[in-house]
Amino acid sequence: MGVRHVAMTVLLSASMAMSVPGMAFQPTNPECIAGAAPGGGFDLTCRLTARMLHELGLLATPMRTVNMPGGIGAVAMNHIQAQRRNDPNVVVAVSTGSWLNLAQGKFGRWTENDVRWVGAIGADYGVLAVRNDSPLRSLADLMAALKTNPAAVPMGAGGTVGSQDWMKVALVARAAGVDPRRLRYASFEGGGQAMAALLGGHIQVFPGDASEVKGQLEAGGIRLLAVLAPERLPGPFASVPTAREQGVAVEWPIVRGLYMPPAAPDEAYRYWVEAIARLTADPRFMEERAKAGLFAFPSTGDAFAALAIERVSEMRLLLREIGLVQ
């Protein structure tokens, strides 16, 4: 009876996946490439997606995760382009950091137009954090201080000039009419070191991520000047205004999603887009996503492709304006 029950469950899962409109194609030996070592954001994207697609009956065959570290996705991109340009069974994890590297030409000759963008599974968001006793009480205070003397506002985060964290505050500086190259920015080995520097008074502003500052925010050690999201975030962030609410059109979602090889068949592309759309709309996935520290970011198919192309273009323009790329 138990064996029969298991067999029926497997058949039902396959039938559910096969019967969903637009999903007649079924992958064979599906694979998700994570362009980093186990434990990071790419790895999370692949493993969470693979597990939940199968659990929710959207993928009849379990999907394996293959870790391929190197260049925030550059090695994975080159692997896809050189060996698997038309493979319908593989998806690759991508993040905003990948888009930033594309903008800086770190993926070699490959650009944002050389893949098929599938969709996002969720996002984290940038925040601007200060100590709870900081004289900077709002985003307006920070922008006024930067206008007066950007070198007098020490700030820092994980990553160097040109990195994701630097870009968050660079966009705010540019909105204030300040050349981002004049910022006094210190590079740390990750957000933990940057938070310690903030709490220790060595820097005044930490442009970090919501997920990495949540603990200190709940403990009362820091205040947030803004969240770089289109609308307020839930939970402990609910009282923090967005930059847009304060008149500054700056957003920085750390998007986590997937792309496919450039020559993947249309029917396979439609399958993966529909699968991710259904996955991210399912309350059971939403619960697991929240446990992983990610927020909702509904974007698939054409909308996700337009977003990727637009964001890379925006980053390329900013990097060119401040002299980081030619």
**What's the structural domain count of the chain?**
2
- Could you tell me if 189 and 210 lie in one domain? yes
pLDDT digits (tens, 9 = 90+) for 177-209: 999 989 999 988 778 899 999 999 999 999 999
The pLDDT value given to residue 21:
44
Cβ partners under 8 Å of residue 260, min gap 6: 88, 90, 91, 92, 115, 116, 118, 268, 269, 272
pTM above 0.95, yes or no: no
Instruction: Look at residues 221, 246, 271 and tell me which one is the last residue of a structural domain.
Output: 246
The pLDDT value given to residue 48:
95
Q: What is the CATH number of the domain that holds 21?
A: 3.40.190.150
Give mean pLDDT, residues 127-152: 97
Answer yes or no: is pLDDT of 33 > 60. Answer: yes
CA–centroid distance for 94 within its chain: 7
Instruction: Look at residues 213, 246, 279 and tell me which one is the last residue of a structural domain.
Output: 246
- Could you tell me if 132 and 118 lie in one domain? no
Kindly indicate the confidence band of residue 220, based on its pLDDT and cuts at 50, 70 and 90: very high
